[in-house]
Amino acid sequence: MIAAVQSIMRAELKLLARNTTVALTATLLPLAFAGVMLAMDQGAAHPIGWAYPIAMQLLVVFGASTYLTSTAALCHRREELYLKRLRSGPASDVTVLVGVLSPVVVLSLLQAGLVLLITGTFAPAAPTNPLLLVLVVLLGTVMCLSLGMATSGYAATGEQAQIVTMPFFLLLVGSAVWASLDIATGLSQLQMVLPGGAVTELTRLAYGDGSFTAQLTEALPPIGVLVAWTIMGVAVATKAFRWEPRG
């Protein structure tokens, strides 16, 4: 299985690199956004400091590098009958999906690590609870990967995927902007159950004050929200995901 995953992963990396739109969206957009946030000194202007701009940077990584890229990649490979050919070989369905999506996961994690490194280097932003920050990155990546698989079932072509992904991408970023208005005093239940609100709250705790135990206790609700969105993505993907082009 490992050899098959590596083989598919190498081929997928080449295919992703050839798609200029996907490559630029996945690599330059998050980094450009990080640069803008630093240039505007957003951390100094927000009640919770750099936790908010860092949450926004991570959400752009999750939305662009993970969600949009995974959806578009699956749609393009399905349209090219690439998924069908892989599935007709000895590799299992799980092996095929892991191989195709592994480059997206690696790219997303590298992007998240890079924006955190850039922000930590050029801004006074150091997490008080690194474990929670790691959870933000891992849970956000897995959530958007599962939702990317689910969304790919509703797009007929790779080009259409750019449109179909917009509602959740806007919800992801928009809910974080909404949450930023009240996060200093406490989020409402509706703000908390939205993915952007949960990521923002979890990032606030990672950079906030308080004991390690207290922070972990407060982190349980947003962690539960991100896990719930992931489960929903998997459930929808189980029913909606397609291996062959839509008729």
Q: Does 204 map to a domain?
A: yes
Cβ neighbours of residue 215 closer than 8 Å, sequence gap 6 or more: 128, 129, 132, 205, 206, 208
Structure tokens of 15? Answer: 């295919």
Question: Is 44 a residue whose pLDDT tops 60?
Answer: no
pLDDT in tens, 116-126: 888 888 777 78
pTM, full prediction: 0.90
Which is higher by pLDDT, 7 or 22?
A: 7
Domain ranges, residue 115: 2-240
pLDDT in tens, 199-247: 999 999 999 888 888 999 999 999 999 999 999 999 999 999 999 886 5
Minimal CA–CA distance to 135: which of 247, 236, 224, 14? 224
**Domain count of the chain?**
1
Minimal CA–CA distance to 126: which of 207, 53, 184? 207
- Dihedral sign computed on CA atoms, order 236, 239, 240, 242: positive
pLDDT in tens, 153-171: 999 888 888 899 999 999 9
The mean pLDDT value for 69-83 works out to 90
Structure tokens of 86? Answer: 């892989």
Q: Does 75 map to a domain?
A: yes
Radius of gyration of the chain measured on its C-alpha atoms: 18
Q: Does 245 map to a domain?
A: no
pLDDT at 163: 92
Q: How many CB atoms lie within 10 A of CB 165?
A: 25
Q: Does 246 map to a domain?
A: no
Angle at 229 between CA 33 and CA 117, to 5 degrees: 30
Q: Does 22 map to a domain?
A: yes
Structure tokens of 30? Answer: 């998050």
Q: Does 247 map to a domain?
A: no
Most confident of 80-89, 181-190, 224-233: 224-233
145 falls in which pLDDT band (50, 70, 90)?
very high
Judge contact between 44 and 134, C-beta under 8 A: no
Q: Does 233 map to a domain?
A: yes
Q: Does 206 map to a domain?
A: yes
